[in-house]
């Protein structure tokens, strides 16, 4: 009898802790005997209709139970007649994600002194050493829209409008989070993400937190930390905030849903004093420990309803 659900897709958002999670998944797949399906394609997130059909076909015919992972924008399996899998993902503060990616492309991480040269061999020296403040303040393409509109398309999908910063893509991304994702976690609270994954998908994630906390694994995970990161000036960060308005609306929406989920299952957030936010931001997510209205709802029934979506 296959575990339920037996088809899971982790369409991992770049620079949101996914290499750490994939390291864990490799250990877990051997430990629990599920089929971990990975991809060697790391830089093609947007697919043509034929490419979508081909990828969905390949994923759907994988031996179950499987967990498929790749950097790819949301795929609607049912549109092509397939069974919609359970989706999971993790996001992080948009400015921090952008900065991590900016310096990773240039200088890599601690796994190898030269791995960044392999990833971006054609990058010119003046581009590699371009000051982050100059990039932002002088409006270089890498530091302006649409390049900064990055997280939302992973949840909005493959429609061309999903790549256009605006309300349409934002609302569609929220809808997909509600209807197709079992869990979208926050990297800043990774241990709680892992706890909930273990609760929701035990065949895949049982014992994940103890593995994550193991000193040997922590040592391995530290090698994926981006090197040579610097912090932009306050003026540059404020400009990034303004350019990433929709990304932040989505981030705080997901964070609010994640905190509601944690409270439902008895996990208390360790609330830090929030950083000042520009005036355009939506109100803070719920950050109190007051009980929610539907606390009497049966947890297992709630999970079953999620799986049936």
Domain extents in the chain: 7-267
Identify which has the larger pLDDT, 115 or 230. 230
Q: What is the mean pLDDT of residues 209-216?
A: 91
Q: How far apart are the first and last CA of the chain?
A: 21
Return the pLDDT at 109: 65
The 66-69 sheet, strands edge to edge: 35-37, 66-69, 7-10, 86-91, 181-186
Contact 281, 255 (CB under 8 A): no
Helix 245-264 × helix 234-243 angle, to 10°: 80
Active site residue 217: no
Residue 40 pLDDT > 70 = yes
Return the pLDDT at 43: 85
Dihedral sign computed on CA atoms, order 235, 237, 243, 246: negative
d(CA 93, CA 151): 10
Q: What is the mean pLDDT of residues 243-255?
A: 98
- Of 105-114, 139-148, 167-176, the range with the lowest mean pLDDT is 105-114
The domain defined by 7-267 folds into Rossmann fold (3.40.50)
- Retrieve residue 81's tokens: 């007649």
pLDDT digits (tens, 9 = 90+) for 55-109: 999 999 999 999 999 999 999 999 999 999 999 999 999 999 999 999 988 887 6
Active-site entry in 71, 159, 203, 217:
71
pLDDT digits (tens, 9 = 90+) for 45-58: 999 999 999 999 99
What is the number of other CB atoms lying within 10 angstroms of the CB of residue 276?
Answer: 7
pLDDT digits (tens, 9 = 90+) for 143-159: 999 999 999 999 999 99
b/e for 259-274, b at 16 or more Cβ within 10 A? bebbbbeebebeeeee
Residue 282 pLDDT > 50 = no
Distance of CA 109 to the CA centre of its chain: 19
Return the pLDDT at 4: 76
């Amino acid at each position: 009898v296959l575990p339920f659900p037996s088809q899971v897709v982790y369409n991992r958002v770049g620079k949101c802790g996914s290499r750490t999670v994939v390291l864990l998944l490799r250990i877990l797949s051997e430990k629990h005997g599920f089929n971990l399906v990975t991809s060697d394609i790391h830089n093609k997130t947007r697919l043509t209709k034929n490419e979508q059909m081909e990828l969905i076909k390949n994923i759907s015919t994988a031996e179950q139970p499987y967990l498929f992972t790749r950097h790819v924008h949301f795929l609607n399996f049912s549109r092509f007649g397939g069974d919609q899998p359970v989706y999971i993902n993790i996001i992080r503060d948009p400015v921090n994600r952008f900065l991590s990616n900016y310096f990773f492309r240039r200088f890599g991480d601690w796994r190898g002194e030269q791995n960044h040269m392999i990833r971006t061999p054609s990058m010119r020296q003046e581009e590699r050493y371009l000051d982050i403040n100059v990039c932002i303040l002088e409006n270089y393409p890498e530091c302006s829209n649409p390049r900064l509109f990055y997280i939302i398309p992973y949840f909005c999908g493959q429609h061309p409008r999903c790549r256009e910063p605006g309300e349409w893509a934002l609302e569609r991304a929220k809808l997909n989070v509600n209807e197709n994702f079992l869990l979208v976690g926050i990297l800043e609270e990774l241990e709680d993400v892992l706890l909930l994954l273990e609760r929701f998908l035990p065949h895949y994630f049982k014992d994940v937190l103890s593995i994550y906390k193991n000193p040997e694994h922590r040592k391995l995970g530290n090698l994926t930390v981006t090197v040579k990161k610097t912090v932009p000036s306050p003026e540059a960060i404020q400009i990034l905030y303004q350019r990433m308005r929709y990304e932040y609306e989505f981030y705080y929406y997901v964070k609010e849903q994640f905190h509601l989920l944690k409270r439902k299952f008895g996990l208390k957030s360790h609330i830090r004093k929030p950083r000042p936010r520009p005036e355009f931001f939506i109100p803070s997510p719920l950050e109190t420990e007051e009980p929610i209205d539907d606390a009497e709802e049966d947890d297992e029934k709630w999970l079953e309803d999620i799986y049936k979506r």
